[in-house]
Chains A and B, each alone.
Chain A
Amino acid sequence: MARIIVANTEYKVPSNLTIMKALEYLGWRLKRGVGCRGGFCGACSTIYRMKGDHKLYTGLACATKVEDGMIIAQIPISPANKKSYNIDSLKAQPNTILELYPEVARCISCNTCTKACPQDIQVMDYVQAALRGDIAKAAELSFDCIMCGLCATRCPAEITQFNVGILARRLYGKYIAPKYKQLEKRVKEIEQGKFEDELSKLTKASKQKLVELYAARVREEVKR
């Protein structure tokens, strides 16, 4: 059993539980601060300290095991500065991110965001990349972000990092990432109805015919 402190009260819980399961074990019915239960949705941000340790730790309640001496508080939502924009009317220019989130220029490189990130993302480095207009790097570094908001609650410059990151990824996806010409070509062919005849033949074919066709299909050579 592990002793944990929740809402200033000490409880004993089995030590093989995650924080989320421990809370449910204690009888809480979680409505906020709970989501996929698999470490992907970022809904269950949690902060905690260990008794006798000055550090403030962060984690996802669904993916962090309870430990003896944990003092736990959940952060169900993180108030965020979220700008609305039409991605089609933006341009991927050096100042684009600053135009929407000028507070990025308040970053003092203290690295607190990186320390807070349960995904081990180099948050400060992507904020810095965004500041210097390197959208591609900001997108790449922030790729694993699940928008739990812990960085934004800890930032002394009051930046909402995760919204900066998703803007960088949107700009990257729309304007910077290389376009696949084959894909564009194929989409056009589909739109022009090039495969309609073939497809209708298939949908009308008998089961027997389908089996034959499948067995006789042309395979692409695997190049090594």
Chain B
Amino acid sequence: MTEKIAYYPGCTAKSYAKYMDSTARIVMKELGIELVELDRWNCCGTVYGLADDNLYSQLAPIRNMIRTLENGFDEVVTICSMCYNTLARANDLFKSDKEKADRLNAFMYKEPDYEGNVTVLHLLDLLVKRVKFQAVKEKVTNPLKGLKIAPYYGCTLLRPREISIDENIEHPSILSELIFALGGEPVEDPYMTECCGSYLTVKDKHLVADRTNKIVGSMQKRSADIIMVSCPLCQFNLDRRQKEVKALNPAFHKVPIVYFTQLMALAMGVDYKKLGFQDHYVDPVPILKKRGLIREKKKVAAKIAK
């Protein structure tokens, strides 16, 4: 029987990162979980508001908690790391600070009062805690054998400690375990937990290009074939800013940046043409072909038709 869980995609998963969204739905269906998108939701705010007296920025995430309840669920899963961070932290603040919780409830319009009874999960959380990587492994029909995958966590999956999806925030291993389950070879790099520059990409893109040079460059030196991320903004920065990196560092070689859900779908036998690789600045297809993971055979196509 298919388990149903409330799903909060986030704005960017609806546009720039639409293949992160579509591949997540495909792999979760394969694993027996249906992601039910909330029928009404708003932007989470993308960054958690830190100032003590500014409750405005907590309204958006808390409103999504109310929507989750309105849809008849008490937990909500998201694929975007930034959404996860913002929703989970705002939810924690709501639970721990009665006075702020009351003020937030008083501000809402026709919504019923929220009582802090929703749990926020990242899709990786769900995979680790409920689905288990063993079950993922059992669904793999196209193991990513010989593919050297550098996991990249970025910031928002790990920090602060309270909402981290991995116990070890300085040297996490969840993505490596996932890579093992998919039959790939993880290439861990010290830069895997360092910030990509995040929203500085709007005003100070040279700083982000510099970060990309360091992060991607270091992983490439460890002969990573591909870098795996869980955040659309990390993907954008590390992928698109490689354009600018070439000017900074002529010796730089491009490395494709993919979502973990895309690699999961590939390993589960989904046709690579459905994974959205055409949207990437650095095309992952050549390296995947080189490693023999993309074969233009009928066998793979038949699986999709099913």
Instruction: Decide whether A and B assemble into one complex.
Output: yes
Chain A residues packing against B (C-beta within 8 Å): 94-95, 107-111, 114-115, 124-125, 128, 131-134, 156
Cα distance, A132 to B83, chains bound together (Å): 14
Give 21 pairs: A residue, B residue, CB < 8 Å, sorted on A. Answer: A94-B14, A94-B15, A94-B16, A107-B43, A108-B57, A109-B43, A110-B56, A110-B59, A110-B107, A111-B59, A111-B108, A125-B40, A128-B11, A128-B41, A131-B11, A131-B43, A132-B12, A132-B14, A132-B15, A133-B11, A134-B14
Q: CA A109 – CA B11 in complex, angstroms?
A: 13
Q: Once A and B bind, how many residue pairs between them come within 8 Å at the CB atom?
A: 46
In contact, A109 and B42 (Cβ under 8 angstroms) = yes
- Contact of A109 with B60 at beta-carbon distance under 8 Å, contacts A125-B40, A128-B42, A132-B43 already known: yes
> Bound state CA distance, A114 and B45, in angstroms?
18
In the complex, whether B63 has a CB less than 8 A from a CB of chain A is yes
Give which listed residue, A107, A114, A156, contacts B109 with CB less than 8 A.
Answer: A114
Chain B, residues 10-39, CB within 8 Å of chain A (1/0): the string is 011011100000000000000000000000
Among A108, A125, A132, contact of B45 (Cβ-Cβ < 8 Å): A108
B48 CB to nearest chain A CB (Å): 13
Given A94-B15, A131-B11, A133-B14, A124 and B42 contact (CB-CB distance below 8 Å):
yes
Chain B residue at smallest Cβ distance from A107: B43
**Inside 8 A of A134's CB, which chain B residues have their CB?**
14
User: How distant is A54 from chain B, measured CB to nearest CB, in Å?
Assistant: 11
Contact A109 B45 (CB under 8 A): yes
User: Which residues of chain B come closer than 8 Å to A109, judged between CB atoms?
Assistant: 42-43, 45, 59-60, 63
In the assembled complex, the CB of A2 is this many whole angstroms from the nearest CB of chain B, namely 27
Cα–Cα distance between A115 and B109 once the two chains are bound (Å): 7
Contact A133 B56 (CB under 8 A): no
Residues of A with C-beta under 8 A to B63: 109, 111
Closest to B63 in A: A109
| Nearest CB in chain A: distance from B10 CB, A | 8
- Which residues, 47 to 65 on B, are CB-close (under 8 Å) to A? 56-57, 59-60, 63
12 additional contacts (CB under 8 A) given A108-B59, A132-B14: A94-B15, A107-B43, A108-B56, A109-B42, A109-B63, A110-B60, A124-B42, A125-B42, A128-B11, A131-B43, A133-B14, A134-B14
Residues on the B chain within 8 Å of A125, using CB: 40, 42
- Interface hub of A108, A133, A134 (most chain B Cβ within 10 A): A108
Residues in B neighbouring A111, C-beta threshold 8 A = 59, 63, 108-109
In the assembled complex, which residues on chain B have CB atoms less than 8 Å from the CB atom of A114? 109
Complex: A156 Cα to B40 Cα, angstroms: 22
A110, A115, A128, A131: which has the most chain B beta carbons within 10 Å? A110
Q: A114-B109, A115-B109, A125-B40 are in contact. Are A132 and B60 (CB under 8 A)?
A: no
In-complex Cβ contact of A133 among B15, B40, B107, B109 (8 A): B15
Please report the C-alpha to C-alpha distance between residue A133 and residue B14 in the assembled complex, in whole angstroms. Answer: 7
- Whole-angstrom CA separation of A131 from B40 in the bound complex: 14
A92 to B39 alpha-carbon distance, docked (Å):
23
Question: How far apart sit A115 and B110, CA to CA, in the bound complex (Å)?
Answer: 9
A95 contacts which chain B residues (CB < 8 A)? 15
Q: Which residues of A contact B45 (CB under 8 A)?
A: 108-109
A125 to B107, CA, bound (A): 17
Contact with A along B55-93 (1 / 0, CB 8 A): 011011001000000000000000000000000000000
Contacts of B16 in A (CB 8 A): 94
Residue in A94, A109, A114, A131 whose Cβ sees the most chain B Cβ within 10 Å: A109
Chain B contacts for A110, CB-based, 8 A: 56, 59-60, 107
List chain B residues, Cβ under 8 A from A124. Answer: 42
Q: Measured between C-beta atoms, what is the minimum distance from A144 to chain B in Å?
A: 18
Report A-chain residues with C-beta under 8 Å of the C-beta of B42: 107, 109, 124-125, 128
Roughly how many angstroms separate A206 CA and B287 CA in the complex, as a whole number?
80
